[in-house]
Amino acid sequence: MKITQIRNATVIVEYENKKFLIDPWLMPKGYMEGFVGAYNADVRQPRVELPFEIEKIVDVDAVIITHLHPDHWDEFAEKNIDKNVKIFVQNEFNKEYILKKGFLNVEILAYEGTKFQDITLFKTKTEHGKKEIIKPICEKMGMEYDAMGVIFKSNNEKTLYIAGDSIWCNEIKTTIEKFNPDVILLNACAAMVLGGERLIMNIDDVNETIKTAPNASIIISHMDTVSHLTLTRKDYIEFKNKNNLKNFFIPKDGEEMRF
């Protein structure tokens, strides 16, 4: 397995000789405004450029869109991804949206597992911030609340868990206990709305993950790019060094990791 951090939650997973592009956010630096109602709304985003040319990033066998928030799927992905490529989504609403953009091979991932060649992909549950608080905010902004995570499983590779946009919750704990993943990728910049509610993990959430999966390799993603972040890679480097963590990875944009 090889995982390449692209930018934000955008990563490329090479698994069983297949390349998956996760959550492609491909617009240029500063192309869009910060999110209204969130921290640092006056800061334009993405905060950084892509590390590679778009043509290289979209040269894949399949795409996984965990949800349709504009920092996980954008017009540049729509324009540059081959309309015939396999795309996996979380629900019927996302499927219909992507089909209307001209894509021809869209499938909803299943909790019980979806086969793709020699790989089984399992949709997993998330909590994209406290539901009773964040869901009404999303609906007011015309954005969906739900997101998904994904388990990658095969006979020849370690089990990978991409937890998706989520805070620490019973759904994450249950997934780890059920699948016992060897590698876990966490979105963890603690992006925050006004009022202090987080949308994704912070250091305490990451620590809970480590305690639940002490033997897993942990990768920190979704860093240093969105306007409403409240933690940076520097914070996680300090956390790693303070706790002498060995299997803890904080990749730079463009960095490759092999497991």
- The pLDDT tens digits of the residues spanning 73-128 come to 999 999 999 999 999 999 999 999 999 999 999 999 999 999 999 999 999 999 99
Angle at the Cα of 221 from the Cα atoms of 240 and 125, rounded to 5 degrees: 110
Q: Residue 68 above 90 pLDDT? A: yes
> What's 87's DSSP letter?
E
Q: Which amino acid is located at 173 in the chain?
A: K
Identify the burial level of 42 via C-beta atoms within 10 angstroms of its C-beta, where 0-12 means exposed, 13-18 middle and 19 or more buried.
exposed
Give the CA distances from residue 240 to residues 70, 204, 249, in Å, rounded to whole numbers and listed in that order.
30, 13, 9
Model confidence at 207, pLDDT cuts 50, 70, 90, reads: very high
Q: Please give the average per-residue pLDDT across 62-78, as a whole number.
A: 97
By percentage, how much of the chain surpasses pLDDT 70?
Answer: 100
pTM: 0.97
Record the tokens describing residue 130, joined without a space: 């406290």
| Residue 109: closest CA among 120, 123, 97, 95 | 123
pLDDT score recorded for residue 8? 98
pLDDT score recorded for residue 77? 98
- Give yes or no for a contact between 161 and 151, defined as CB atoms under 8 angstroms apart: yes
Domains, the chain, in order of start with CATH, read 2-258 (3.60.15.10)
Q: Please give the average per-residue pLDDT across 172-186, as a whole number.
A: 98
The rounded radius of gyration (Å) of the Cα atoms in the chain is 17
